[in-house]
Amino acid sequence: MPALDHIQQDIQELPEEAQQLILDFVSFLKQRYQPQPNKPHQPISFTDQPFVGMWSDVPEMQDSAAWVRQTRQQQWQRHHG
């Protein structure tokens, strides 16, 4: 690649301190853009979430299917009655 040859020549013409800065920067870029190893997927534990069980002491939730059925029926009648 002609551009790389030109860059290499430009770097060699720089003072040694500047050349070291370039080497340091390239090293930094290599670390930053290095492919990250795939971490194993950790499923979320819903039992540890604060919202789990927040309605457990509500009497209507003892039979949640009945509560949902009744709520749907009430909403349907309100909007289509």
* Mean pLDDT calculated for residue range 71-81: 83
CA 34 – CA 74 distance, rounded (Å): 58
Position 51: which residue type?
A: F
CA 14 – CA 25 distance, rounded (Å): 15
CA 60 remoteness from chain centre:
37
Phi, psi (5° rounding) for residue 75?
-65, -40
Helix (H) or strand (E) holding 27: helix 16-32
Q: What's the predicted TM-score (pTM) here?
A: 0.41
Do residues 22 and 14 lie in contact, with contact meaning Cβ atoms separated by under 8 Å?
yes
Instruction: Encode pLDDT of 18-51 as tens digits.
Output: 999 999 999 999 999 988 777 777 888 888 888 8
Instruction: Encode pLDDT of 9-27 as tens digits.
Output: 999 999 999 999 999 999 9
